[in-house]
A and B are shown apart, each in its own frame.
Chain A
Amino acid sequence: MQKIGVFVCHCGTNIAATVDVSAVAAALSAEPGVVFAREYQYMCSASGQDLIKDAIKEKELTGVVICSCSPRMHEATFRKAAASAGLNPYMVEIANIREQCSWVHKDKQSATEKAIILGRAAIAKVALNTPLKPGEIPVTKRALVIGGGIAGIQTALDIADAGFEVDIVEKKPTIGGKMAQLDKTFPTLDCAACILTPKMVEASQNEKIRIYSYSQVEAVGGFVGNFTVKIRKKARYVDETKCTGCGLCTEKCPVKNVPNEFNLGMNERHAVYIPFAQAVPKVAVIDADCCRMLKDGKCGLCSKLCGAGAIDYKQEDEIIENKYGAIVAATGYEPISLDKFDEFAYSKSKDVITSLQFERLMNAAGPTGGVLLRPSDNKHPKTIVFVQCVGSRCEAHAKKGKEYCSKICCMYTAKHAMLTREKYPDTDVYVFYIDVRTPGKNFDEFYRRAAEEYGVHYVKGMVGKICAEGDKLKVQASDLIADKQLHIDADLVVLAAAIEPDKSARPLATLLTASMDTNDFFTEAHPKLRPVESPTAGVFLSGCCQGPKDIPETVAQAGAAASKVIGLLCKDKLTANPCVAHADELMCNGCSTCENVCPYHAITYIDKEFKMPDRTVKVRRVAQVNPAVCQGCGACTVACPSKAMDLYGFSGKQIYAEVDAICR
């Protein structure tokens, strides 16, 4: 005999303003099996929970229906309350009368009617619920961090600091990421390398950290606590264990006209190279696309020169398979391509550069040794125009650029302008902006110093067109405050290109089954309350892969992601979701449909012996679900042609009962 209790929540006015909660409680009390129905202001509060607990005990309830907010919000709360009163937590059902009813409707009468129907469906379902017992799954006590920029490095260091092992996978030959390319960092102007490289070294020397550089994640299997990851370690044609990083090969290699990506193509490197002096690992790498030996089999000079015998032209890609308990995405960002911004003559003139190129021009280890010379003729630029929001805050219909604010450009442009004026006081510096956005500790003070103390000309307005004429760049712009057109003859133009997620993020998200937004930023589990977790259990987010961020914010988020990983790895066992699929072997015809649709590879087929009525034994192929791998998505249950697949907690019968109750 069913004894179901119904609890209707007001949620303050969130529900009660649009739904007549008393009417809902009254209507549902008449449903078959319902022995108790109450309404309350806040069901999730301690006294609301007590109300449920007391009713379970006093009325000896066998099932509970709570008409409230989305189960994503408080299902766990109410299950816990039921369990503490002695009821199996899977005998609790939530009818979502907030997000799917009161919030989306205006008319009270029809909203009330809908709330009653939703409650009725939940009652019909709970009557068929069975007590479930969650299993336990072990946790692999090692984390994987994908991306070796400042976000990945900091996350790895923090995880290692807590005593857990952690691997960094970095696609480039060295860790360090974008921060390694920067000159100074705002707002304190300390040198980026001086604060980053010690961290890179710390990561490489930490016993708990393994670095897979020049490597990429190729496949991800498993689930929270038990991921299996295949890593492709690309052939660098140099034996990492033998190379001493002396750099002799990188000086003598006869192929020396390869655009140097570290300096954004503003100078050249050899076919065998070490990306920069403080690279970690400090090991040479051969660019297979340019190396004469690898292309035509003619040369071999580096091999002859190498005292350590580290050059290995026969090296091949290596696939490494490891197990991890948690994965952190820290894939970072890239400045957008400026192909669609030819009004700024980026493709036409060498003296129109991006802000990242400007960082390299100002950097002592950059192509000009830190002397600001313009790329076309190596002359000191006397007039420099900085253009902000190039590709940021674009209108969607313009079909170019990004709608969002890239967040970091106002500050780094202020930094560039300030540093230019400090090093070269005879230079005229203009900054064109839509708005100057400098929230952050000591940020606005920094910007004001640039404008007020360093005499940078900040102009509110955008640049409409830049064209090269002779050795000048003709800049046409509007000054919105003075309401006039400006024509500036500039020597150098610096474009603050919008930033976007690294191109590797989208395929990685697919491997991780982690969700992304339309801009390819990873989505967080909750934008406010769970900002470093992906909705996919066991996957965490660090740095710009989740949204544009500066260094202080990235480091803070990296630490937060690490603490979430540590929290997970601390546990010896995780509670498994018992709402998983199972196959009825007598119904299963061995067709493999379920195996093919399962996104988690949780289904396998076995040959099983069945005793037939005539006492013969027949061997049949039947499906088997691995409950530890199954995520309970239900794809197999709808795909199965013979209805052999069913989901605990969401059986076909329960769903039909809900539908029947709605259509009644």
Chain B
Amino acid sequence: MKFLYYPGCTLKNKAKALDIYARECAEILGFELVEINDFQCCGGVFTTSADEIATKLAVVRALKAAKAAGMPLVTVCSACHNVIKQTNHAMQTDAVFADRVNRYLNDGDDYHGETKVYHYLEVLRDIIGFDKVKECVKYPLNMNIGAYYGCLMLRPGSVIEMDDAENPQIMEQLIKALGGRPVEYGNRNECCGGYVTVTDPGFARKRSRIIYESAETAGAEMIVTACPLCRYNLIKNGADIPVKYFTELLSKALIGEKE
């Protein structure tokens, strides 16, 4: 199966690991990621101001590209995924917003949210199946791993519709399929402080500490995430255990550690 792939700008520099392993593993698991031509930054945040369309146009262009290619759109980064899904939902349900966007783009092909958007994890769960993933594992992880969802991947739950935002299981299921032992800790879906780290580093430090300490207390030997910003914050603010992308974990189990 083919997917139009939206890596996002962070995956092209700071978070290359998230991108590279995602591609490698897709090949092994039997699906193809076709990188979208000339993608633009998703904006990083879905602004909720009602009259704001400019920062969402880049995403609508990507969604339209997928529609034109007849492929679902897949993302790996939590922030991109959040902005794309929320924008797509707005195009489906908010007629006024959709009308303004379509008239602005004015390229003869109106868009109303026809593209199906997946997070890479959803592809693994809903299309490939974690059973199949499990079959492909060559190097079972055999360690205690705490999944860290952060705030963007699942919320708002009624729009993202990926998993129960308050009691998610998707990453735990992946960890299990990869031969690891998932550790469910209390703060696994709390915010790390996000971009606030720029203006108020103390606040982000406080938030991040709550999260990794909660994971460590619960017995996690590693934290796994899908968000470059979460990983940055946790590491910068002193996590004592490794913080990895879920794609790194996937690659480690399917392909093995690289030197």
Interfacial residues, chain A to chain B (CB-CB below 8 A): 340-343, 345, 347-348, 397-399, 465, 467-470, 474
**Residues A468 and B186 in contact in the complex (CB < 8 Å), given A398-B158, A399-B158:** yes
* B contact face: mostly helix, strand, loop, or mixed: loop
Does B187 lie within 8 Å of A467, measured CB to CB?
A: yes
- Chain A residues, CB < 8 A from B185: 467, 469
| Cα-based distance from A474 to B157 in the complex (angstroms) | 23
* A contact face: mostly helix, strand, loop, or mixed: mixed
Does B167 lie within 8 Å of A348, measured CB to CB?
A: yes
Partner of A469, one of B158, B164, B190, B217: B217
Q: A399-B158, A469-B217, A470-B217 are in contact. List 15 more A-B contacts (CB 8 A).
A: A341-B166, A342-B164, A342-B166, A342-B167, A348-B167, A348-B184, A397-B158, A398-B158, A467-B186, A467-B187, A467-B214, A468-B186, A469-B214, A469-B218, A474-B186
Count of chain B residues with Cβ under 8 Å from any Cβ of A? Answer: 13
Whose C-beta in chain A lies nearest to the C-beta of B184?
A348
Whose C-beta in chain A lies nearest to the C-beta of B161?
A399
- Chain A residues, CB < 8 A from B186: 345, 467-469, 474
- Chain A residues, CB < 8 A from B166: 341-343
Q: Tell me the smallest distance from the CB of A595 to a CB of chain B, in Å.
A: 45
Q: Tell me the smallest distance from the CB of A471 to a CB of chain B, in Å.
A: 13
- Chain B residues, CB < 8 A from A341: 166
- Chain B residues, CB < 8 A from A340: 164
- Chain B residues, CB < 8 A from A470: 217
Which residues between 139 and 186 of chain B lie within 8 Å of chain A, taking CB atoms?
Answer: 157-158, 164, 166-167, 184-186
| Cα-based distance from A467 to B146 in the complex (angstroms) | 15
| Cα-based distance from A160 to B158 in the complex (angstroms) | 51
- Chain B residues, CB < 8 A from A398: 158
| Cα-based distance from A467 to B164 in the complex (angstroms) | 16
Whose C-beta in chain A lies nearest to the C-beta of B187?
A467
Whose C-beta in chain A lies nearest to the C-beta of B213?
A469
Whose C-beta in chain B lies nearest to the C-beta of A470?
B217
| Cα-based distance from A345 to B167 in the complex (angstroms) | 8
- Chain B residues, CB < 8 A from A342: 164, 166-167
Q: Tell me the smallest distance from the CB of A338 to a CB of chain B, in Å.
A: 11
Q: Can you list 8 A-B pairs with a CB-CB distance of less than 8 A?
A: A341-B166, A345-B186, A399-B157, A467-B185, A468-B186, A469-B185, A469-B186, A474-B186
| Cα-based distance from A343 to B218 in the complex (angstroms) | 18
| Cα-based distance from A467 to B167 in the complex (angstroms) | 11
**Residues A347 and B187 in contact in the complex (CB < 8 Å), given A397-B158, A399-B158, A469-B214:** no
| Cα-based distance from A348 to B214 in the complex (angstroms) | 16
Whose C-beta in chain B lies nearest to the C-beta of A474?
B186
Our count of residue pairs bridging A and B at CB distance below 8 angstroms stands at 27
Which residues between 206 and 220 of chain B lie within 8 Å of chain A, taking CB atoms?
Answer: 214, 217-218
Q: Tell me the smallest distance from the CB of A475 to a CB of chain B, in Å.
A: 11
Which residues between 190 and 215 of chain B lie within 8 Å of chain A, taking CB atoms?
Answer: 190, 214
- Chain B residues, CB < 8 A from A469: 185-186, 214, 217-218
- Chain A residues, CB < 8 A from B184: 348
Q: Tell me the smallest distance from the CB of B248 to a CB of chain A, in Å.
A: 27
Q: Tell me the smallest distance from the CB of A484 to a CB of chain B, in Å.
A: 14
| Cα-based distance from A82 to B185 in the complex (angstroms) | 77
| Cα-based distance from A169 to B190 in the complex (angstroms) | 49
| Cα-based distance from A449 to B102 in the complex (angstroms) | 60
- Chain A residues, CB < 8 A from B164: 340, 342
Q: Tell me the smallest distance from the CB of B239 to a CB of chain A, in Å.
A: 18
| Cα-based distance from A348 to B185 in the complex (angstroms) | 11
- Chain A residues, CB < 8 A from B214: 467, 469
- Chain A residues, CB < 8 A from B167: 342, 347-348
| Cα-based distance from A341 to B157 in the complex (angstroms) | 12
Whose C-beta in chain B lies nearest to the C-beta of A464?
B190
| Cα-based distance from A345 to B186 in the complex (angstroms) | 9
Q: Tell me the smallest distance from the CB of B215 to a CB of chain A, in Å.
A: 11
Q: Tell me the smallest distance from the CB of B158 to a CB of chain A, in Å.
A: 5
- Chain B residues, CB < 8 A from A474: 186
Q: Tell me the smallest distance from the CB of A348 to a CB of chain B, in Å.
A: 7
Q: Tell me the smallest distance from the CB of B101 to a CB of chain A, in Å.
A: 21
- Chain B residues, CB < 8 A from A348: 167, 184
Whose C-beta in chain A lies nearest to the C-beta of B188?
A467
| Cα-based distance from A470 to B214 in the complex (angstroms) | 10
Which of B167, B185, B190 has the most A CB atoms < 10 Å from its CB? B167
Q: Tell me the smallest distance from the CB of B247 to a CB of chain A, in Å.
A: 27
Whose C-beta in chain B lies nearest to the C-beta of A487?
B210
| Cα-based distance from A267 to B236 in the complex (angstroms) | 48
| Cα-based distance from A474 to B217 in the complex (angstroms) | 14
- Chain A residues, CB < 8 A from B157: 399
| Cα-based distance from A465 to B187 in the complex (angstroms) | 9
Whose C-beta in chain A lies nearest to the C-beta of B217?
A469
- Chain A residues, CB < 8 A from B187: 467
| Cα-based distance from A150 to B218 in the complex (angstroms) | 47
| Cα-based distance from A467 to B189 in the complex (angstroms) | 11
| Cα-based distance from A139 to B83 in the complex (angstroms) | 66
| Cα-based distance from A645 to B230 in the complex (angstroms) | 72
| Cα-based distance from A579 to B185 in the complex (angstroms) | 68
Which of B164, B184, B186 has the most A CB atoms < 10 Å from its CB? B186
Q: Tell me the smallest distance from the CB of A350 to a CB of chain B, in Å.
A: 15
Q: Which 6 A-B pairs have the closest CB atoms?
A: A467-B186, A342-B167, A342-B166, A343-B166, A399-B158, A469-B186
Q: Tell me the smallest distance from the CB of A163 to a CB of chain B, in Å.
A: 55
| Cα-based distance from A347 to B218 in the complex (angstroms) | 18
Q: Tell me the smallest distance from the CB of B223 to a CB of chain A, in Å.
A: 16
| Cα-based distance from A618 to B167 in the complex (angstroms) | 74
| Cα-based distance from A343 to B157 in the complex (angstroms) | 12
| Cα-based distance from A467 to B211 in the complex (angstroms) | 12
- Chain B residues, CB < 8 A from A397: 158
- Chain A residues, CB < 8 A from B158: 397-399
| Cα-based distance from A469 to B218 in the complex (angstroms) | 8
Whose C-beta in chain B lies nearest to the C-beta of A341?
B166
Q: Tell me the smallest distance from the CB of B150 to a CB of chain A, in Å.
A: 14
Whose C-beta in chain A lies nearest to the C-beta of B164?
A342
Q: Tell me the smallest distance from the CB of A634 to a CB of chain B, in Å.
A: 38
| Cα-based distance from A470 to B184 in the complex (angstroms) | 13
**Residues A465 and B190 in contact in the complex (CB < 8 Å), given A342-B167, A347-B167:** yes
Whose C-beta in chain A lies nearest to the C-beta of B214?
A469
Q: Tell me the smallest distance from the CB of A245 to a CB of chain B, in Å.
A: 43
- Chain B residues, CB < 8 A from A347: 167
Whose C-beta in chain B lies nearest to the C-beta of A344?
B166
| Cα-based distance from A343 to B184 in the complex (angstroms) | 14
| Cα-based distance from A340 to B165 in the complex (angstroms) | 9
- Chain B residues, CB < 8 A from A468: 186
1/0 per residue B78-100: CB within 8 Å of A? Answer: 00000000000000000000000
Which residues between 9 and 29 of chain B lie within 8 Å of chain A, taking CB atoms?
Answer: none
Q: Tell me the smallest distance from the CB of A446 to a CB of chain B, in Å.
A: 33
| Cα-based distance from A347 to B166 in the complex (angstroms) | 11
| Cα-based distance from A336 to B218 in the complex (angstroms) | 31
Whose C-beta in chain B lies nearest to the C-beta of A399?
B158
- Chain B residues, CB < 8 A from A399: 157-158
| Cα-based distance from A341 to B166 in the complex (angstroms) | 7
Whose C-beta in chain B lies nearest to the C-beta of A347?
B167
| Cα-based distance from A505 to B26 in the complex (angstroms) | 50
| Cα-based distance from A655 to B115 in the complex (angstroms) | 50
| Cα-based distance from A397 to B94 in the complex (angstroms) | 14
| Cα-based distance from A397 to B164 in the complex (angstroms) | 15
Q: Tell me the smallest distance from the CB of A189 to a CB of chain B, in Å.
A: 36
1/0 per residue B207-244: CB within 8 Å of A? Answer: 00000001001100000000000000000000000000
Q: Tell me the smallest distance from the CB of A395 to a CB of chain B, in Å.
A: 10
